[in-house]
Structure 1
Amino acid sequence: MENVAHFLFGIFGNVFAMFLFLSPAITFFRIIKNRSTEKFSGIPYVMTLLNCLLSAWYGLPFVSPNNLLVSTINGAGAGTEIVYVLIFITLAPKKEKVKIIGLFSAVLIVFLVVVVVSLFALRDYPRKLLCGLLASIFSVVMYSSPFSIMVPNGVGSALGAMQLTLYSVYRENRGTPKTEEEALEMGEANQNVPTKEAI
């Protein structure tokens, strides 16, 4: 009975996960239609690919027994994400294309290193522990990757708020200019001083 429940919950989980992997399809139909990635970022798709590859590897029987459903859904997810990444690379501007190709290459290298280490350096529980830990870590990275768009704007907003705060605190305290030239530069020249024309 426990195995049946495990299998049924696994099936339901896979169905919902597949909807998650397919949800960016609308965005990519738009990208293909407009022949442009517009302002979209490719980072979330590359990070999702890494998460899927590691999770699919973790679910294989020689790494983690009785988790084949994990491998199947994440294998399907990896295939979907590869399609997204390739479309993005094809239609992205040159600068973004170079960035995503570099990140995509790094993802493949990380996955290859994990495969080699887990196959030849570890066995049984240590192999399962390493692969499970990495899959969990990169799952968190995957879900946080959309924030890469917010970070520069967030920092800029914080710095802008600091400038406005400083201005509001010190706006009345400009200091007294020491010379007439400084007063002219500050726009605070004494308006009562007669000019040559008035004399």
Structure 2
Amino acid sequence: MVTAEAARNVVGIIGNVISFGLFLSPCPTFYRIIKNKSVEEFQVYPYLATVLNCIFWVIYGLPFVRPDSILVVTINGVGLVIELIYICVYFSYAPNKGRKKVVYGLSGEIVFIAAVSLVFLLVFHDHKRRILAFGIICDVFNIIMYSSPLTIMKKVITTKSVEYMPFYLSLANFLNGCVWTAYALIKLDIFILISNGLGAISGAAQLILYGCYFRSTPRDEKVIDPKASQIQLSVSDGPDRV
């Protein structure tokens, strides 16, 4: 008979695989940056935000905060490395103004994370309170980041076209949210549940919009909105892509 812990591990591994794919989804953007040797109009903020999110989820999954959450640590640790690689590529091809954004952004995040973590660890001495403190801050950042798809969803409704909303990314978002919601329910983790429940709802909403406006999307448009290529969907549902 399969135990709840074994089932949770299997679901978590599946979630890790899907999350890994989502972390790799910006690769075409950075291939374009390397090919053109320019960051063009792309912004570094989504990747800085994902770094912040990943680090907090890594801390959340560590034994001194939330024991038995190694799969949360692994995927967010991998995601952190991938996001830092993206930022390094961005830094390499960005003008001085863009490089300053990277330096100031990372420096501010390091100070913020260190200050918050130090306060939480010194003030809260038991797992229950640490889980609550770090869980709340992780969910707050995730909820803020869930606003990122709203721009493209609004564009879909306004233009009645799904041209700039990738179907497979929306599908992956939905599946990722569902898998990690199941993970959180097997051994109740309210903070992972909140993050990924919202992620599943967001992904479902995107798929519904896709179904509604797929037929009305022009198939032979020659003119491409120059701003469309600048749209960057954050790939940080929680635990980050957990």
Q: Please give the TM-score of this superposition, normalised by the length of structure 2.
A: 0.58
> Given residue 130 of structure 1, which amino acid in structure 2 is its aligned partner?
A
Aligned residue for 1:68? 70
Aligned residue for 2:107? 105
In the alignment, the residues of structure 1 paired with residue 105 and residue 149 of structure 2 have an alpha-carbon distance, to the nearest angstrom, of 15
Aligned residue for 2:55? 53
Aligned residue for 2:124? 122
Q: 1:146 to 1:105 in 2, by over 3 A?
A: farther
More divergent stretch after superposition (92-101 vs 74-83): 92-101
More divergent stretch after superposition (122-131 vs 89-98): 89-98
Q: Does 1:135 align with 2:138?
A: yes
> Given residue 16 of structure 1, which amino acid in structure 2 is its aligned partner?
I
Secondary structure at 1:36 match in 2: coil
Q: CA deviation at 1:114?
A: 2.5
The CA RMSD measured in Å over matched residues stands at 1.9
In the alignment, the residues of structure 2 paired with residue 44 and residue 140 of structure 1 have an alpha-carbon distance, to the nearest angstrom, of 14
Q: Does 1:29 align with 2:25?
A: no
Q: 1:146 to 1:99 in 2, by over 3 A?
A: farther
Between structure 1 and structure 2, the one with the greater Rg is 1
Q: 1:38 to 1:87 in 2, by over 3 A?
A: same
In the alignment, the residues of structure 1 paired with residue 49 and residue 69 of structure 2 have an alpha-carbon distance, to the nearest angstrom, of 22
Q: Does 1:11 align with 2:13?
A: yes
> Given residue 36 of structure 1, which amino acid in structure 2 is its aligned partner?
S
Q: Does 1:41 align with 2:43?
A: yes
Q: Please give the TM-score of this superposition, normalised by the length of structure 1.
A: 0.69
In the alignment, the residues of structure 1 paired with residue 122 and residue 51 of structure 2 have an alpha-carbon distance, to the nearest angstrom, of 24
Q: How many residues are paired up?
A: 149
Q: CA deviation at 1:143?
A: 3.5
Aligned residue for 1:178? none
In the alignment, the residues of structure 2 paired with residue 127 and residue 91 of structure 1 have an alpha-carbon distance, to the nearest angstrom, of 40
Is contact 1:114–1:131 with CA below 8 Å preserved after alignment? no
Structure 1 alignment gaps of length 5 or more = 150-199
Name the % identity.
42
Q: CA deviation at 1:141?
A: 2.9
In the alignment, the residues of structure 1 paired with residue 43 and residue 66 of structure 2 have an alpha-carbon distance, to the nearest angstrom, of 33
Aligned residue for 1:2? 4
In the alignment, the residues of structure 1 paired with residue 87 and residue 106 of structure 2 have an alpha-carbon distance, to the nearest angstrom, of 8
Q: 1:38 to 1:146 in 2, by over 3 A?
A: farther
Q: CA deviation at 1:11?
A: 0.6
Structure 2 alignment gaps of length 5 or more = 153-242
In the alignment, the residues of structure 1 paired with residue 90 and residue 148 of structure 2 have an alpha-carbon distance, to the nearest angstrom, of 16
Q: CA deviation at 1:138?
A: 1.3
- Where relative contact order (Cα < 8 A, 6+ residues apart) is larger, the structure is 2
Q: CA deviation at 1:34?
A: 1.3
Secondary structure at 1:33 match in 2: helix
